[in-house]
Amino acid sequence: MGPINDPSSSTSPGRRTLTDEQFARLAKLVYERAGIHFQPAKKYVLESRLARRLDELDMDGFDQYVTFLTIGPYRDDEFQEMFNRITINETSFFRNEPQLQHFETRTLPMLLEARKATRRLRIWSAACSSGEEPYTLAIQVHRTLGIRLADWSVEILGTDISEKVLDVAMAGRYDAYATRAVAPAVLSRYFRQVEGQQELDASIRQMVRFERLNLKDTLAARRFGTFDVIFCRNVMIYFDDPMKAQVVRMFHQQLADDGMLYIGHSESIRSLGVAFEPVAAPQAFAHVKGRAA
């Protein structure tokens, strides 16, 4: 290996090509670590997103990288670095509005009534990317509770496997693309323009806590305790059925008996053998706990 960060040392043709065999080994490592299932058709994603990393590490090719991830002394750090690069982090504020309306107009009032004795509410945005989803939920809780918020303990947790997106989330500043679906009144109430970006108001930012969590690590997730609402949207599309079942079983354990699980509109948790029942509300993609676990 030569000097780090010297792209000039990486020009030999084919060094950055991922062969089918290397792809299979890399995809297996990714799956075992994070449950993310890369189809062979997505080989180009790994190849293009990791080519630069190979340059940074001044590696000869993907064989060396796979070895590094398998037996290298810094493999845990490298997995983290890799997940920062290979995950798809598409998200935005108020994504899938009808579903969020269900949360705000049905689930939230139901829970505020059910929790009026303890006045405690816990919401988990699992695989939250750069924070737009948990912050959207915080805005909804904030405007629903109004001045009553001071009497409630509301905890909103955002978790993701990628540290890179969590850094963006904690910064709380977004571009016009991220806020494109935010109504003008909400924009002026909860954001302010700073250096060409939209900065989220401190009242909302302080309602959300961010932690790194790999959803495959169900034991690590337990430390976060039980939630009244779990949002896990647009990440299970990257999981196969065994991984989905593992994650959804974990949600079952960590959801209050009268709690609600929201999933992405192109995802399904039917036929996983976990006792969740869809609520009868089209476009809500919401689930309650069924009878038998």
Which residues contribute to the site for ligand SAM (CB under 6 A)? 34-36, 87-91, 95, 127-129, 133, 160-162, 165, 213-216, 233-235, 238, 264
- Looking at the Cβ atoms of 172 and 264, the one nearer to ligand SAM is 264
Would residue 249 show up in a list of annotated catalytic residues for this protein?
A: no
Query: How many Å apart are CA 208 and CA 230, to the nearest integer?
Result: 14
- Looking at the Cβ atoms of 94 and 276, the one nearer to ligand SAM is 94
Query: How many Å apart are CA 245 and CA 255, to the nearest integer?
Result: 15
Query: How many Å apart are CA 71 and CA 190, to the nearest integer?
Result: 48
Question: Smallest gap, in angstroms, from Cβ of residue 185 to ligand SAM?
Answer: 22
Query: How many Å apart are CA 153 and CA 136, to the nearest integer?
Result: 18
- 25, 95, 160, 233: the catalytic one is 160
Question: Helices marked H in the chain — which ranges?
Answer: 20-34, 43-56, 62-71, 75-86, 97-102, 108-114, 132-145, 163-171, 184-190, 202-205, 218-222, 241-254
Question: Smallest gap, in angstroms, from Cβ of residue 36 to ligand SAM?
Answer: 5
- Looking at the Cβ atoms of 59 and 284, the one nearer to ligand SAM is 284
Question: Smallest gap, in angstroms, from Cβ of residue 86 to ligand SAM?
Answer: 9
- Read off the amino acid at residue 224: F
Q: Helices 62-71 and 43-56, interaxial angle, to 10°? A: 80
Ordered DSSP codes for 127-171: S-TTTHHHHHHHHHHHHHHGGGGGGSEEEEEEEES-HHHHHHHHH
- 49, 53, 115, 249: the catalytic one is 49
- Looking at the Cβ atoms of 59 and 86, the one nearer to ligand SAM is 86
Would residue 160 show up in a list of annotated catalytic residues for this protein?
A: yes
Tokens (6 digits) for 245: 């079942």
Question: Smallest gap, in angstroms, from Cβ of residue 125 to ligand SAM?
Answer: 7
| Residues that are catalytic | 49, 160
